[in-house]
Structure 1
Amino acid sequence: MIALHGLPFILVEYDGFRRFVASLNPLFKTISRTTIRNDCIKAFEEQKVALQEMFKDAQSRFSLTADMWTSNQTLGYMCITCHYITADWEVKKKVIKFFVVETPHTGIEMFNQVLECIQEWNIEYKLFGITLDNAAANDSMVFELKLNLVDKV
């Protein structure tokens, strides 16, 4: 429920939530926000490994989209989404990386993060394309990616 609805982990420690759960099942043992956080991270890691295995065995190519924005605290964030078609011809997309981009938001810094992501997911030999917006830093990032990936296609 917490992961599905994006609720805060501390929800499990609210008195109202605990009373509600107790009304449904008085024998239910309540847990702390640390436990629920650890459980969510464990589930995430298990799903990540399963998705990496699927990527490894997939016969299709993968396309990436990346978008970067700056928060009102001037922190830069980038999200990388992987798009692919399954063996059953279903179009799928998965967020494979969401991270803070250190300032200054240079093409080299973004390149390092994107290349690390591509390598972590082991898709450098199956990469079809990357779609980005027209930010100036993306031009230098793409230049560096082409230099590092062109021989792997």
Structure 2
Amino acid sequence: MKAPNATSHPDEYKEWQIKDQEACAQITLTLKDEPLSGVMYETSAAATWKKLGDRYEGKGKQSIAYIIGDLFRGTLADDQPMETQLNAMHQKAHILASLGQPLNNSLIAIAMVISLPQSYSTLRTILGNVTGKGYPHGSRVREYDGRISFTTDAWTAPNHKAYVAFCVHLEQEGVPLSFPLDIVEVVKSHTGHELAQAFADVLHEFGLATKILSITCDNASNNDAMIDELARNVPTFGGKASHTRCFLHIVNLMAKSLIRQFDIKKDMDAIWDGSGERRELEDLAGEEMEEAPDLDVTNDEQSATGIDNDEGWVDEIELLTPEELEELEEAILPVKLALAK
């Protein structure tokens, strides 16, 4: 409120002066320490308010500088949950916006990438190459004059989020090239339908739907469903004829099937006769497991979800009669003892 003229309206000016002093006193009564000392000698509410505004505007700019520095110079800790730390960085971005210094999502993402610890160096390298949508290899494969082979695999991160990765493989001037194309979060789960939808989206985004030579993935049933669904979503894809099964996964399944017969059965009623050799075998195997517990590489999550199952593989051992099983166990007992020792 503007002060009345003291000469032409002395009474009104005197009343305004009293109210201004009361307002000034109310402002100073809410302050303490440094803010109070900064306005101690101001004689009007307007002057007091202006002094406070100038002070806190400067403090705000200092806060902005500090938060930006902390956002881009900090390093996340390995021994703490990564999601919590990334959320804290996102909160700093909200604070900057409230202080009148908003950052776009690209800058926030860059800050998060460069803050990843050394143990995340591979992920940092991949994400650091992101320019806009997709990877820098996108333009190369889009302009490639020929067909391209793809590999894909899915996994679930420690934070229980499902991801699927896609890599491309091609030949250029006689040189075989392989590089990652994209990593996509699968919102629901690793079902064949969801994987096919994610794959189709990536193909359309990079303009590669007409360049598929082959898709290599492991032998899980959800990948078979993905191939069938993708053939419906992308008419130029050859379906099962263009599906290459992962040779390493096949070897892994074969190896597990072969060594399974050397496992000690939990139910020993049919084959356990209490002989000293068998008891010695169980004792030796038990000692081995106690000394090397980390050798148990069974993935309970994969077993539960069927992502890496042995579907389609027949266990010949389970087809044997009790008599044939007992005969087989007797025949391979010396091999078991040799392996256990």
TM-score bracket relative to the smaller structure: 0.5 to 0.7
Paired residues for 1:84-103 under 5 Å? 84-86=170-172, 88-103=173-188
Q: What is the number of residues matched between the two proteins? A: 125
Q: 1:150 to 1:46 in 2, by over 3 A?
A: closer
1:53 aligns to what SS in structure 2? helix
Per the alignment, do residues 120 and 89 of structure 1 end up closer, same or farther by CA in structure 2, a change over 3 Å counting?
same
Deviation, structure 1 residue 10? 6.3
TM-score (norm 2): 0.32
Aligned partner of 1:139 in structure 2 is 224
Moved more, 39-48 or 56-65: 39-48
State the Cα distance separating 1:103 from its structure 2 match.
2.8
Larger mean Cα displacement after TM superposition, 47-56 or 97-106: 47-56
Deviates further, 142-151 or 62-71: 142-151
- 8 Å Cα contact 2:166-2:181 kept in structure 1: yes
After superposition, the C-alpha distances for 1:57-90 in whole angstroms (9 at most, x for unaligned) are 211211110001123333222111111111x111
Alignment of 1:56-95 (within 5 A): 56-86=142-172, 88-95=173-180
Distance 1:82 1:148, change over 3 A: same
Separation in structure 1 between the aligned mates of residue 109 and residue 228 of structure 2, nearest angstrom: 42
What's 1:12 paired with?
A: 73
Shift in Å, 1:47: 9.7
Q: Which has the higher strand share?
A: 1
Q: List alignment gaps of at least 5 residues for structure 2.
A: 1-69, 76-106, 115-126, 239-341
CA contact (8 A) 2:200 2:230 kept: yes
* 8 A contact 2:151–2:167 mirrored in 1: yes
**% identical equivalent positions:** 21
Supply the RMSD in Å over aligned alpha carbons. Answer: 3.2
TM-score (norm 1): 0.66
- CA–CA distance in structure 2, aligned partners of residues 81 and 129 of structure 1: 12
Structure (1/2) with the larger helix percentage: 2
Please say if residues 197 and 230 of structure 2, whose CA atoms lie closer than 8 Å, have aligned partners that are also in contact: no
Equivalent position of 1:45 in the other structure:
131
> Which residue in the other structure is 1:129 paired with?
214
- Alignment partner, residue 297 of structure 2: none
